[in-house]
Structure 1
Amino acid sequence: MSLAKDNNDLAAQANNAGNNSLFEAQYEHDLEHKEVEGLDADAPLTLRALVSTKEAGVIIGKAGKNVADLRDQTGVKAGVSKVVQGVHDRVLTVTGSIEGVAKAFSLIAQNLLDNPITSSPPGTPLNALQPVAQTSSVRLLISHNLMGTIIGRQGLKIKHIQDTSSARMVASKEMLPQSTERVVEVQGSIDAIRIAIYEIGKCLVDDWERGVGTVLYNPSAPRVPGAGPGGYAAGGAPAPGARTNNYTSRTGNGSDFTRPRDESQFRPRPEPAFGQNTANLRTQEISIPADMVGCIIGKGGSKISEIRRLSGSRISIAKTPHDESGERMFTIVGTLEANEKALYLLYGQLEVEKDKRMNLSGDHIIEDDEE
């Protein structure tokens, strides 16, 4: 049975839960939620969701009041990725205990229900479920490798989550651009969303190893035809409308990994003469998941040495993660063209590794109903 058909059939069976609670009363009611046997509600969990720019404004509130209140009420850490010009989606990240994260998303859903957004953003990656009266929805970002954990064999796990919570759930068939994440939309009453996310969180914590190496989705402006990584054309000049260099590729969480076209265009270049024409040198930084660093360095440093040689840029790698995400910073120094070639090759190596991991995990995702 295909994943899309499986989820649509299951979603059709789900019923909406009862009436919504008040925003403040909901949090107190959530303290009594102990429905999953053996659940460690204090287990750490980071859960990401897609929100529109307008929804992000509601979630953050004036001068950050709403998100600050959310942190105080639930004990979670919560934040929204920066605005990207021309992009209508942002990433909401919530970190805390399973219980705290579930409560946080229920309060966010209630807040969005109380402050409705009248129009849907164009270009939404998933054909969203159409909310009905007194329901809200959350678009969770879930690693492709963890979809099997949530769906379960023959779809039994996702059916259990929907039956337990009375929420509707539907998963996108494709991964989001330049990532290994997919969208799982959860729709229902505020309490239904809380219970569903509680159950989903338990699945993710129990099987966290499968999520290692996930390439996180970062909303970014569409690339122009023929453009390489960072919006640059094959010759190294900025493509029309593209942002120039001197930027950090990490926008929110994770990195923007782009498939290379033909590496034959990159011929060995001499190291930049750092004692001369230093005004032409650019410094760029990209953040790479720690477990992906090895595939870039290669055995005995062979791969990173080749990237340095082909691009002509100097590339240094931080020895330790630069923040709580566990990612490590790569610093690239060279001319604009050299840096662009270095990025192109780095992203290509990451894409190759991503494809390898997807192929290894593919048999866990889609159940085959042929007998």
Structure 2
Amino acid sequence: MPSDSPAANRDSASPHQSRSPSPAGQDVLTLRALVSTKDAGVIIGKAGKNVADLRDQTGVKAGVSKVIPGVHERVLTVTGAVDSVAKAYALIIAQLVEANPASPSVSSSSGSHTSIRLLISHNLMGTIIGRNGLKIKAIQDGSGARMVASKDMLPQSTERVVDVQGSPESIGRAIEEIGRCLLEDWERGLGTVLYHPGVADERSGGSMGGAGRRAHNYSGSYSGRRSNAGEMSTRATSPPSPESPSQAANLRTQNISIPSDMVGCIIGRGGTKITEIRRLSGSKISIAKAPHDETGERMFTIVGTPEANEKALFLLYNQLESEKERRVGKEQQQDQDED
């Protein structure tokens, strides 16, 4: 199997890289996909040659997440203009088909067919599927690829898998259309909690040895038009006041940055909503009284088990989305009244 190299991993595109417009003024797309450890080796190539060639051919930034012992999946991240990202994925898939001709996912009777598992924000799925499924049908008809969307979000994230199946060329065409959809409705992707393979299995130790090695930034990762709104950054640390040594080993602390104008909707009248989130999740949630930097955002600190924190993040995120939808509806109603 081709070996990994520092050169191959150091340029892995982060969520923050997607926030800068390209020189041509186009919005920059970051599109992530789940790949097997074996396929990751093919994508990287010996001494990072394949991924370096990919960057040269398409102009994208591309990288694969680091190996996690015992975890057999890694995340491929590609960042660039929409057409460049689509071309890069088509080249990657063609490379995987060539490297794995005997793979069960490749059908020789109908040409070189395979699939890629894209990671898409739960809140952007509606954009891709469209009303009554018309958008996803149009993408499939236009590209020749088949798309299957998972119903459930991945552990400790608000991302779902969209399996795109077909020839490398048809998948590339589908990805270009998917990318355009994501950029057109980019605001819905703000605050996305990104999936990291293996995170849900972190159960041992409260030290920085396990989860702390993989501190994450969770944020909307599709466009460059806003800088920090909705950003969620988390880091695993030991809790300040554990109730027992055994509990302490399984607790995590996560800090979430929330736009100030959204804090009230999370707290609720008389603190009813935040109290309910605490009760349902089992996590302790504290809120900073003042903004923590020039963005004017407030820090929420969540302390609990990985399962409790996952529930808390999900509830907080849903509350944010409900408020966003309420505000959009209110604005639309005002526009109708004015007309």
Report the TM-score when normalising by structure 2.
0.62
**Residue from 41, 55, 73 that aligns with 1:57:** 41
Structure possessing the higher radius of gyration over alpha carbons: 1
1:136, distance to aligned residue in structure 2 (A): 2.4
How many residue pairs match? The answer is 263
Give the equivalent residue in structure 1 for 2:212. 248
1:221, distance to aligned residue in structure 2 (A): 5.6
**Residue from 82, 86, 89 that aligns with 2:70:** 86
Does the Cα contact within 8 Å between 1:212 and 1:291 map onto a contact in 2?
Answer: no
1:171–1:68 CA distance, 2 compared to 1 (3 A)? same
- In the alignment, structure 1 residue 191 sits paired with structure 2 residue 166: no
1:154, distance to aligned residue in structure 2 (A): 1.3
Give the equivalent residue in structure 2 for 1:132. 107
1:131, distance to aligned residue in structure 2 (A): 3.7
Does the Cα contact within 8 Å between 1:166 and 1:188 map onto a contact in 2?
Answer: yes
Percent of aligned positions with the same letter in both sequences?
Answer: 52
- In the alignment, structure 1 residue 43 sits paired with structure 2 residue 27: yes
Does the Cα contact within 8 Å between 1:137 and 1:188 map onto a contact in 2?
Answer: yes
Give the equivalent residue in structure 1 for 2:122. 144
Cα distance in structure 2, aligned partners of 1:341 and 1:58: 39
1:222–1:285 CA distance, 2 compared to 1 (3 A)? closer
Does the Cα contact within 8 Å between 2:156 and 2:199 map onto a contact in 1?
Answer: no
Query: In structure 1, what residue type is equivalent to 2:130?
Result: G
Query: In structure 1, what residue type is equivalent to 2:28?
Result: P
Query: In structure 1, what residue type is equivalent to 2:197?
Result: P
1:99, distance to aligned residue in structure 2 (A): 0.9
Does the Cα contact within 8 Å between 1:58 and 1:112 map onto a contact in 2?
Answer: yes
- Provide the alpha-carbon RMSD of the alignment: 4.7
Give the equivalent residue in structure 2 for 1:352. 315
Greater relative contact order structure (CA < 8 Å, 6+ sep): 1
User: Residues 217-366 of structure 1: matches in 2 within 5 Å?
Assistant: 217-220=195-198, 223=201, 230-231=202-203, 242-246=204-208, 247-248=211-212, 250=214, 254=218, 269=241, 288=256, 319=293, 341=304, 349-357=312-320
Cα distance in structure 2, aligned partners of 1:63 and 1:285: 37
1:357–1:103 CA distance, 2 compared to 1 (3 A)? same
Query: In structure 1, what residue type is equivalent to 2:50?
Result: N
Query: In structure 1, what residue type is equivalent to 2:153?
Result: M
- In the alignment, structure 1 residue 172 sits paired with structure 2 residue 150: yes
Cα distance in structure 2, aligned partners of 1:87 and 1:180: 20
1:43, distance to aligned residue in structure 2 (A): 2.7
- In the alignment, structure 1 residue 70 sits paired with structure 2 residue 54: yes
Report the TM-score when normalising by structure 1.
0.57
Query: In structure 1, what residue type is equivalent to 2:148?
Result: V
Cα distance in structure 2, aligned partners of 1:341 and 1:80: 30
Query: In structure 2, what residue type is equivalent to 1:132?
Result: S
1:178–1:347 CA distance, 2 compared to 1 (3 A)? closer
Deviates more, 1:348-357 or 1:189-198: 348-357
1:294, distance to aligned residue in structure 2 (A): 7.1
1:355–1:344 CA distance, 2 compared to 1 (3 A)? same
Does the Cα contact within 8 Å between 1:48 and 1:93 map onto a contact in 2?
Answer: yes
1:62–1:82 CA distance, 2 compared to 1 (3 A)? same
Query: In structure 2, what residue type is equivalent to 1:214?
Result: T
